[in-house]
């Protein structure tokens, strides 16, 4: 409530006596300020790319682990590992160990292709952040989708094979509809966290170059702790909470629908 209260005031800690009622000026700035518009666009772009790619990869890995593949227990453990690593530590590993243009592993592997000196972080900042977040969130999607796949009755798939259905037809007509609620749940829950991405951006790009990777959480940090504009930062925070609440509402509705489906079985 205190954040909502401050969002209606103009207050900069670097300007003594600046605390005064500003009506809706801070919220109006969310529309007129180009930096805020860029941050909103970056947040939407980052969320859509990360969730979309993570869901596709998570579904593919879940399908693999749900089959009779050798060593799937060990593979499942390896897949979960990125989700258990602290975001800050993971971002540092990517930046200094994997992507460093001088001694990074990826430039070394790409040397035969003439890409040994590519500075991925500075030349392709958004792609780098998306790649790191996809690496982090694919295990999460895989776990949720795998739970849905394991609840599938194997006799249904066996009957489809006996009736002459191909693997693709069985996947499209049987497996995918069954896994759809779990895919939606994973996408919505993942969106709640990806929208709040801060650690990776801070450690990898610090919002740059320019404003190429500045999203809403990082802009909130810059406005509050670099510019000390408490009123503007509070307005940004209120809008961010509203956006997160909307996504959370859809996630809860999807979760309840899954419970109802399971209860009817």
- Residue 49: is its pLDDT beyond 80? yes
Confidence of residue 124 (pLDDT cuts 50, 70, 90): very high
pLDDT for the residue 242? 85
pLDDT for the residue 140? 92
Q: What is the rounded CA–CA span in Å between residue 170 and residue 164?
A: 10
Confidence of residue 25 (pLDDT cuts 50, 70, 90): confident
Q: What is the rounded CA–CA span in Å between residue 111 and residue 264?
A: 56
- Residue 12: is its pLDDT beyond 90? no
Q: What is the rounded CA–CA span in Å between residue 192 and residue 51?
A: 10
Compute the CA torsion angle 48, 52, 54, 57 (nearest 10 deg): -160
Go through the domains of the chain in sequence order and give each one's CATH number: 2-264 (1.10.3720.10)
Q: What is the pLDDT of the chain when averaged over all its residues?
A: 86
Confidence of residue 128 (pLDDT cuts 50, 70, 90): very high
Average pLDDT score over residue span 239-257: 81
The three-class DSSP label of residue 213 is: coil
Residue 144: CA count within 13 A, CB half-sphere: 24
- Residue 161: is its pLDDT beyond 80? no
List phi, psi (to 5°) of 12. -120, 120
Average pLDDT score over residue span 159-163: 77
Confidence of residue 263 (pLDDT cuts 50, 70, 90): low
- Residue 181: is its pLDDT beyond 70? yes
pLDDT in tens, 196-233: 899 999 999 998 888 889 999 999 999 998 888 989 89
- Residue 95: is its pLDDT beyond 70? yes
Q: What is the pTM of this model?
A: 0.88
Residue 114: CB atoms within 10 A of its CB come to 8
The three-class DSSP label of residue 99 is: coil
pLDDT for the residue 259? 67
Contacts of 228 (CB under 8 A, 6+ apart): 12, 13, 14
pLDDT for the residue 264? 65
> Which one, of 230, 252, 256, lies nearest residue 4 by Cα?
230
Residue 43: CB atoms within 10 A of its CB come to 22
pLDDT for the residue 38? 92
Q: What is the rounded CA–CA span in Å between residue 138 and residue 69?
A: 19
- Residue 59: is its pLDDT beyond 90? yes
Q: What is the rounded CA–CA span in Å between residue 22 and residue 237?
A: 17
Q: At what angle do helices 230-264 and 176-194 cross, to 10 degrees?
A: 160
Cα distances (Å, whole numbers) of residue 135 to 80, 125, 142, 202: 10, 15, 12, 17
């Amino acid at each position: 409530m205190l954040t909502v209260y401050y969002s209606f005031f103009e207050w900069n800690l670097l300007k003594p006596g600046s605390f005064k009622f500003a009506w809706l000026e801070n919220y109006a700035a969310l529309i007129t300020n180009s930096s805020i518009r860029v941050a909103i666009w970056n947040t939407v772009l980052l969320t859509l790319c990360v969730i979309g790619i993570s869901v596709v990869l998570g579904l593919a890995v879940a399908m693999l682990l749900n089959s009779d593949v050798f060593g799937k227990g060990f593979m499942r453990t390896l897949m979960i590992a990125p989700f258990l690593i602290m975001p800050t530590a993971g971002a540092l590993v990517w930046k200094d160990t994997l992507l460093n243009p001088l001694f990074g592993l990826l430039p070394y592997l790409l040397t035969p292709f003439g890409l040994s000196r590519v500075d991925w972080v500075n030349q392709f900042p958004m792609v780098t952040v998306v790649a790191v977040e996809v690496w982090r969130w694919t295990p999460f999607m895989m776990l949720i989708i795998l739970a849905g796949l394991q609840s599938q009755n194997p006799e249904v798939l066996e009957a489809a094979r006996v009736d002459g259905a191909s693997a693709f037809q069985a996947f499209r007509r049987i497996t995918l509809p069954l896994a759809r609620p779990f895919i939606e749940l994973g996408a919505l829950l993942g969106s709640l966290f990806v929208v709040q991405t801060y650690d990776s951006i801070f450690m990898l790009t610090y919002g740059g170059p320019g404003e190429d990777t500045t999203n809403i959480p990082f802009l909130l940090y810059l406005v509050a702790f670099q510019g000390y504009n408490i009123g503007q930062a509070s307005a940004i925070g209120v809008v961010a909470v509203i956006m997160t609440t909307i996504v959370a509402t859809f996630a809860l509705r999807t979760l309840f629908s899954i419970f109802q489906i399971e209860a009817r079985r």
